[in-house]
Structure 1
Amino acid sequence: MAVVTSHALNSVDGSHADGIAVRLTRLGSERLPLFATRTDASGRVSEGVDIREADAASVYQLVFDTAPYWADRIGSRPDIGFIEQIVLRFQMPDPAGTYHMPVILSPNGYSVWLSG
Structure 2
Amino acid sequence: MTLTNLTSGAVVLSAAMDAGGRLSQDIPAEQIDPNATYELVFDTANYWAARKIPATVSQIALRFTMSDPEGAYHMPIILNPNSYSMWMSA
Same fold (TM over 0.5): yes
RMSD over equivalenced CA pairs, Å: 1.6
Which structure's relative contact order is higher, taking Cα pairs within 8 Å and 6+ residues apart? 1
Identity score, percent: 46
CA contact (8 A) 1:24 1:62 kept: yes
Equivalent position of 1:13 in the other structure: none
How far is 1:54 from its partner? 4.9
> Structure 1 runs of 4+ off > 6 angstroms?
none
- Relative distance call for 1:106 and 1:55 in structure 2 (3 A) is same
How far is 1:53 from its partner? 6.0
How far is 1:97 from its partner? 0.2
Equivalent position of 2:45 in the other structure: 67
Q: Render the CA deviation track for 1:49-97: whole Å, top value 9, x for unaligned.
A: 134365422001100000111111125xxxx442110000000011100
How far is 1:43 from its partner? 1.3
Higher gyration radius (CA): 1
Match of 1:90 among 64, 67, 70: 64
Q: Render the CA deviation track for 1:31-59: whole Å, top value 9, x for unaligned.
A: 10111111101211012213436542200
In the superposition, the TM-score normalised over structure 1's length comes to: 0.70
Give the partner amino acid of 1:89. R
Equivalent position of 1:104 in the other structure: 78
- Structure 2 residues without counterparts, runs of 5 or longer: none
- Relative distance call for 1:67 and 1:53 in structure 2 (3 A) is closer
In the superposition, the TM-score normalised over structure 2's length comes to: 0.88
CA contact (8 A) 1:82 1:107 kept: yes
